[in-house]
Structure formats: structure tokens, C-alpha cells
Amino acid sequence: MSIPPDDGAPAIRARGLTKRFKNTLALDGVDLTVPRGTVHGLLGPNGAGKTTAVRILTTLTRLDAGTAEVSGHDVRTAPRQVRRAIGLTGQQTAVDDLLTARQNLTMFGRLFRLDRATARRRADELLEQFGLAGAADRAPKKFSGGMRRRLDLAASMILSPQVLFLDEPTTGLDPAGRREVWQVVRRLAAEGTTVLLTTHYLDEADQLCDRISVIHEGRNFVEDTPVGLKRRIGDERIEVTAADLADLTEVQALVARAAGTEPEVDDLAGVVSAPVADGVRALTVVAADLRAHGMDVADIGLRRPTLDEAFLQLTGTPVASDLTAREVS
């Protein structure tokens, strides 16, 4: 199945998604719109409803109220068409350690009803695409975590899905393995695949996502670009660490003049910081003033808000914290 040209319709459109499990309201009217060919992050603390939303959109769980379309197909009335249009990679890899990488992908192709020759050809194409051709005849049990995850992603791409759902795809991977998966996701999006990503790693969302929807307690909380979310908690800050605490008052005055506002001062650490609208200009001014006054500093630089800080300030909860409501899968 090839990826269709963008006709302007979103790849995912959901309105008022609602799902209750006994006494737990997992989703309470969630809206979601994901344009084609983009990477969209779905973030929230444990128990926020992310996995439930993914399961509804992939037809694994029926919604109680609301509507959802994936690639133009209604998840309630046309689940088979939805399944033909999507790929799904869950939190645990689904590959067989007793088969080789090529045998794994060929098996998945056969399960998707490809004939034997087509399944083998598709397996070889994916092994090449995901950088696994050199390991085609090795069993996944001998792979690194990143290689196993790439093989799992390759399996989800057997039918060249229009929309790929990734539910915490890099959980448990080391930094090198995470970067391998990131490269694959970027390439898939560049080639036209729409990706919906849930993750607890906010640096991952920052690196990969075009837009991010934050879900909190089963409801939409905020949606924005990664840069936009960070800007919601303020501009970047200039920070100067005095080499000599005796210079702290003068450093404070210079930073205040450049920033146009009264800085914060940590008397013990000797750090003076202030929010600035134009960080490069402020940094240049402060550095020139320090030089003109013949003052040495231990450090000077710009500090930008992180997505972690934005998430914590917006929701009051760290993204990976445990809430009373357990994530319903």
C-alpha cells in the first residue's frame, strides 16, 4: 500500500474521544488533529490516557463517545480499512528471537497476506531501508537494543502504512539506541509517513515532533509546537557567574542594564540571571561591558527553557510521575 498524496485532509482527526473503564474515566472528550506527513507527540503523565487514545485510534479499544477517523476511515464503522492504513509499534518489541531478521520480516509479510516472493522482496527492502541488511541472517537475540527496535519498526512498515503509531518506542534503550530510532522516525516522516508518538522522554518529543498535544487527566490540556510550549514559560535567560563574589553587585547592575529588568541573584553561587527577549544581543552587551570594566567571570551564557520545565509548569506534574489514576492500556 503506497502513501497517498496529501489532499489537505488530516491523517488523524478525533473529536470528543471518551472512554471509561469501570470507575476510571480514561478519556474525557479529547480532540486531536494530525496533518499528513508530520510527527505529532502525545504527552502526559502516567494515567493521562495516552495509551488509551492510541488503542482507540488503532481499533484495539472501542470508544464510548466521540468520533475518530484515521486516514479518512472511521475507527468505529470501518475498522478493517483503518488497520490496512496503519502500522503500530508498541512498548514491547514483537520480533521472534529464534528467527533471523529476514525470516522475521518475511513472516510478518505472510501474516499480512503477501505471497511468499513478495514477502521476501519486501523484507529485503526493509532490511536495507532500516540499516539492517548486514544483519539479515542474524537472530534478534544477538542484536543491540537499537537494532531490535529498528527491526520492530521495520515489521510495522511491511505494508507501507500511511499512519504509524509509536507507543513509547525508545523505552529502555541506551542513548545510542534512541538516536538510531530517532533517525528512522525522521526519515519516515520525510518520506511522507504520518507518525503519532507517545513518549516519556521530553527531549525525544523536542527532537522529533512538529507539534505536541499534552493530555492531562484524560482531557486536552494544551497543543503547540515544542518551541511554543517552551515560550509559554518565558523567554531565554542570560546567566553570569561571577569569578569573585565581591563583583556580584557590579555584575548585577550590568545584567540589569542589558536585560532591562531586575535580575535574580544567587549570593552563594555567585550567579546573576535575568529573562531576555533577544538573548544574543543581551549576551553581546553584557560581555562587552564586562570587558570594558576589566571584570573576569567564571561563566556566562544563555539558558533556554526546556520542554521538561514547560511540562512541569503547565501541568504541575513531571511527565513520568505516577498519578492516582493508572494508565489504562
173 in any annotated domain: yes
Q: What's the CA gap between 149 and 309, in Å, rounded? A: 29
State whether 200 and 260 are in the same domain: no
Asked whether residue 136 falls in the same domain as residue 113, the answer is yes
| Structural domain total, the chain | 2
% of the chain residues with pLDDT over 70: 92
pLDDT of residue 124: 95
Same-domain status, 55 and 164: yes
Grid coordinates representing 202 are: 521530553
Is residue 318 in a domain? Answer: no
Tell me, what's the pLDDT at 79? Answer: 96
Question: Quick one: 249 and 112 in the same domain?
Answer: no
Same domain membership, residue 245 and residue 145 = no
Q: Is it the case that residue 2 has pLDDT exceeding 60?
A: no
7 lies in some domain: no
Same domain, residue pair 187 and 170: yes
Are 39 and 56 members of one domain? yes
Instruction: Indicate the residue type of 142.
Output: K
Distance CA 62, CA 18 (A): 10
Kindly indicate the confidence band of residue 317, based on its pLDDT and cuts at 50, 70 and 90.
low
Q: Is residue 317 part of a domain?
A: no
Residue 123 pLDDT more than 70? yes
* pLDDT, tens only, 170-226: 887 888 888 888 988 998 999 999 999 998 888 889 999 999 998 988 998 889 998
Among 230, 258, 281, residue at a domain's last position: 230
316 falls within a domain:
no
- Quick one: pLDDT band at residue 326, thresholds 50, 70, 90? very low
In the sheet that holds 194-198, the strands lie side by side as 86-89, 163-167, 194-198, 39-43, 211-216, 219-224
Mention every residue, 6+ apart, whose C-beta is less than 8 A from residue 306. 202, 203, 206, 230
**The predicted structure's pLDDT at residue 323:** 35
State the Cα–Cα distance between residues 269 and 264, nearest whole angstrom: 12
CB contact at 8 A, 12 and 164: no
- Residue 26, pLDDT above cutoff 80: yes
Whether the CB-CB separation of 263 and 272 falls below 8 Å is answered with yes
Least confident of 43-47, 111-115, 279-283, 325-329: 325-329
| 47 located within any domain | yes
The grid cell for 32 is: 486531536
Let me know whether 97 and 246 are in one domain. Answer: no
**Distance between CA atoms of residues 318 and 132, nearest Å:** 36
Question: pLDDT tens digits, residue range 34-86?
Answer: 999 999 999 888 888 999 999 999 999 999 999 999 999 999 999 999 999 99
Mean pLDDT of the chain: 88
How confident is residue 7, by pLDDT bands cut at 50, 70 and 90? low
Strand locations in the chain (E) = 12-21, 24-34, 39-43, 65-70, 73-74, 86-89, 163-167, 194-198, 211-216, 219-224, 237-242, 264-266, 271-275, 297-303
The reply to whether 248 and 185 lie within a common domain is no
CATH number of the structural domain spanning residue 243: 3.30.70
Question: Could you give the CA distance from residue 327 to residue 329 in angstroms, rounded to a whole number?
Answer: 6
Q: What is the largest CA-CA distance in the chain?
A: 78
Query: Does 104 share its domain with 157?
Result: yes
Q: Which three cell numbers stand for residue 200?
A: 516519556
Residue 273: inside a domain: yes
Domain match, 240 and 138 both: no
Residue 326 DSSP label = P
- The band of 328, judged by pLDDT with boundaries at 50, 70 and 90, is very low
Residue 2 belongs to a domain? no
Domain coverage including residue 125:
12-230
Query: Taking 60 as the threshold, does the pLDDT of residue 269 lie above it?
Result: yes
Question: 310: which 3 cell numbers?
Answer: 514547560
Kindly indicate the confidence band of residue 169, based on its pLDDT and cuts at 50, 70 and 90.
confident
Q: Each residue of 74-119: pLDDT tens digit?
A: 999 999 999 999 999 887 778 899 999 999 999 999 998 999 999 9
Which of 176, 206, 230 terminates a domain? The answer is 230
Q: Give yes or no: residues 141 and 207 share one domain.
A: yes
CATH of the domain at 89: 3.40.50.300
Instruction: State the cell numbers at 82.
Output: 483503518
**Residue 319 pLDDT more than 60?**
no
Across-strand partners of 302?
238
